[in-house]
Amino acid sequence: MDPYKQRPSSAYNTPFWTTNSGAPVWNNNSALTIGSRGPILLEDYHLVEKLANFDRERIPERVVHARGASAKGFFEVTHDITHLTCADFLRAPGVQTPVIVRFSTVIHERGSPETLRDPRGFAVKFYTREGNFDLVGNNFPVFFVRDGMKFPDMVHALKPNPKSHIQENWRILDFFSHHPESLHMFTFLFDDLGIPQDYRHMDGSGVNTYTLINKEGKVHYVKFHWRPTCGVKCLLDEEAIRVGGSNHSHATQDLYDSIEAGSYPEWKLYIQTIDPDHEDKYDFDPVDVTKTWPEDILPLQPVGRLVLNKNIDNFFAENEQLAFCPAIIVPGIYYSDDKLLQTRIFSYADTQRHRLGPNYLQLPVNAPKCAHHNNHHDGFMNFMHRDEEVNYFPSRIDPAHHAERYPQPPAVYTGKRERCVIEKENNFKQPGEKYRSWPADRQERFVGRWVDALSDPRVTHEIRNIWISYWSQADKSLGQKLASHLNVKIDT
């Protein structure tokens, strides 16, 4: 027997009960007592261990993306983009990479219904030959704020009132009245797209701007987009009430049942790219996360397909312990100066260390599947077997050496220290264009949702006027409709 050959796995269970240390348990039904009715003895180690483990079964839920469902599968390259990136997992058409994907609602709690109006998370972990790549995104291509400094306050505003624990529109509208950059996100959230029918029928987006680097060192900005092959389908408000009232886990069940039935969910991956040398030609900043890149001038380029063909084996191990971080990239893909991405690089890993512990990347679902080596030793819940004597670098005894150098963006930075807003805000153009692209009935549903939100009795006259002003700047007729429904006079 080689005790270090395998990590702990239920596949190596004995046919009889044991303690965590492997000792046999001959009675898993009765506590150790003095006599048949006497008090329980503290020396009943199996009972104490069983209760202690049970008491600690739950870990802190995620602050955001608490409610989620996962599935496994593969990503297959279908188009050659080696002129754009030297990423190994994108090296040629036909190359397949194992993945695990987690879908989620963003704001609401772990036990909340999956029919609430809320962004949906769409996070993909690629287990590549050069380490993991976490493409962490949402079902919408934009976000509420462009600077991570605002993120904690934004989440506080979207979460329930800390006094009553009730999510309230007046708090949301108060906060975002200070941030007109949020209008574009609200054209997605308050649209029919705001409640996906399920996880199989929704888009995904990397949201942030990354960079691709090819083997010659040429850099391009890139946006990642997932498109479901079965199309996008959503629930209208009345349908959401009916579906959620009958099954608050409908999307999780749909995902699981579809895979069990062999109807495997599939998405196509597309990218948009911009040469950084040409970024000034657009009326938006390419690294502004509140903007989309117009597809008529920056067309979608096909890359590959994502197929989910296996359900997870255990919800806790492969959903609750599954951890993503936008900082986890591979050679050929790098960050951009996207302010929100730069913040997430720190924040995601930090929250996983708090929630799961400093060695969360050793958990099987998070660990890379390729060989890896470093001197990150010990710490809380470290379960990696190590028998080497050299735990420092460099060494003339340990032959480990630097990996072969790979291209990284060569940008040179100059500037003064300052806290400032990007120059090209342009907060109203894209929301207005999106609203005008809808048919009349869809516009009316959007207006109705905003009228309901702005009718909250705790929304002040000032805040209501600010929102009408914002939507008027996006589209004059939209502002007029809101003002008419709310009996507000628009200042001219």
Q: Which residues does the annotation mark as catalytic?
A: 65, 138
- Count, residues in the chain: 492
Q: Are strands 301-311 and 120-128 parallel, antiparallel or unpaired?
A: unpaired
Q: What is the DSSP letter of 402?
A: P
- Would you call 298 exposed, middle or buried from its count of C-beta atoms within 10 A (0-12, 13-18, 19+)? middle
What DSSP line would sit under 186-252, residue for residue?
Answer: HHHHTSGGGSBS-STTS-EE--S-EEEE-TT--EEEEEEEEEETT---B--HHHHHHHHHH-TTHHH
Q: How far apart are CA 118 and CA 108, in angstroms?
A: 8
Cβ atoms < 10 Å from Cβ of 417: 4
Q: Helix 169-176 to helix 461-474 angle, to the nearest 10 degrees?
A: 60
Longest dimension (CA), the chain: 88
Q: How far apart are CA 277 and CA 413, in angstroms?
A: 15
Which residue carries 């990347």 as its tokens? Answer: 361
Q: How far apart are CA 160 and CA 108, in angstroms?
A: 9
Alpha-carbon torsion angle 106, 110, 114, 115, nearest 10: -80
**Numbered residues of the known binding site for heme:** 348
Q: Helix 429-436 to helix 461-474 angle, to the nearest 10 degrees?
A: 70
The H or E element containing residue 305 is strand 301-311
Q: How far apart are CA 335 and CA 345, in angstroms?
A: 9
Of 191, 232, 234, residue with least CA distance to 448:
191
Q: How far apart are CA 227 and CA 344, in angstroms?
A: 24
Q: How far apart are CA 367 and CA 220, in angstroms?
A: 29
